[in-house]
Amino acid sequence: MNGGEPEGQPRVVLVRHGETEWSLQYRHTSHTDLPLTEHGRQAAASLRPLLASRQFALVLTSPRQRARETAALAGFSNAEVCDDLQEWDYGDDEGRTTAEIREERPGWSVWTDGPKNGETITHVAARADRVIDRTLRAGGDVLVFAHAHIMRVLTARWLTLEPELGKRFLLRTAAPSRLGWEHDYRVIEEWSCRAD
């Protein structure tokens, strides 16, 4: 931590869930409730000593199995389920890769075009903003277990950027990131850090 942060401002540790079969294949996964792979379970469990060394005023998880399982393996089986942390609803693009979608819609991007019959980025950003509001009122640091796109939008909003700039923040599975402060500015302190 640097010495320029405001006294008592909460930090937010973000943890994308561990690996699933679909994350390995880069498939858009929202409401499909997949378990972790064995490698994903091992990576999630390896987070336990790192996260156990910190105190959290609030621990939140997406309701999806892959996030809840990651939280439990990391030592936070009592994490509070937060519906706002569900992954972007991909609508008709659920289970498809970007390459498959671009065969029908050349140049497609979830960030600019959105999923077909799915959730708008504006709606995803509104959910992220509600999570940020909760973290700022938590009275201490907050730990979040969720998914790549919702947390990338959340990071953009933490930095007071437009939500589509979340495309600039690649998140690996089971790799913690930390959002914090320098003086009175919200910043990224650490990003997608995993020893491998």
pLDDT, tens only, 112-151: 999 999 999 999 999 999 999 999 999 999 999 999 999 9
Asked whether residue 8 carries a pLDDT value surpassing 90, the answer given is: no
Active-site position among 17, 28, 147, 149: 17
Task: Look at residue 193 in the predicted model and tell me its pLDDT.
Answer: 80
Nearest to 104 by CA among 88, 122, 92: 92
How big is the chain, counted in residues? 196
Nearest to 120 by CA among 155, 158, 91: 91
User: Among this protein's residues, is 80 annotated catalytic?
Assistant: no
Class of domain 12-190: alpha beta
Contact predicate 109/102, CB 8 Å = no
Active-site position among 19, 28, 69, 87: 87
Q: What are phi and psi of 14, to 5 degrees?
A: -105, 135
Q: What are phi and psi of 178, to 5 degrees?
A: -135, 125
How confident is the model over 55-87, as pLDDT tens digits? Answer: 999 999 999 999 999 999 999 999 999 999 999
Kind and range of the H or E run holding 70: helix 65-73
Return the SS3 of 190: strand
Cα end-to-end span (Å), the chain:
23
Task: Please tell me the distance from the alpha carbon of residue 151 to that of residue 110, in angstroms, as a whole number.
Answer: 14
Task: Please tell me the distance from the alpha carbon of residue 91 to that of residue 189, in angstroms, as a whole number.
Answer: 33
User: Among this protein's residues, is 17 annotated catalytic?
Assistant: yes
Q: Tell me the whole-structure pTM to 2 decimals.
A: 0.94
Q: Within 13 Å of residue 4, how many CA atoms lie on the same side as its CB?
A: 8
Q: Of the given ranges (6-10, 37-41, 88-92, 145-149), which has the lowest mean pLDDT?
A: 6-10
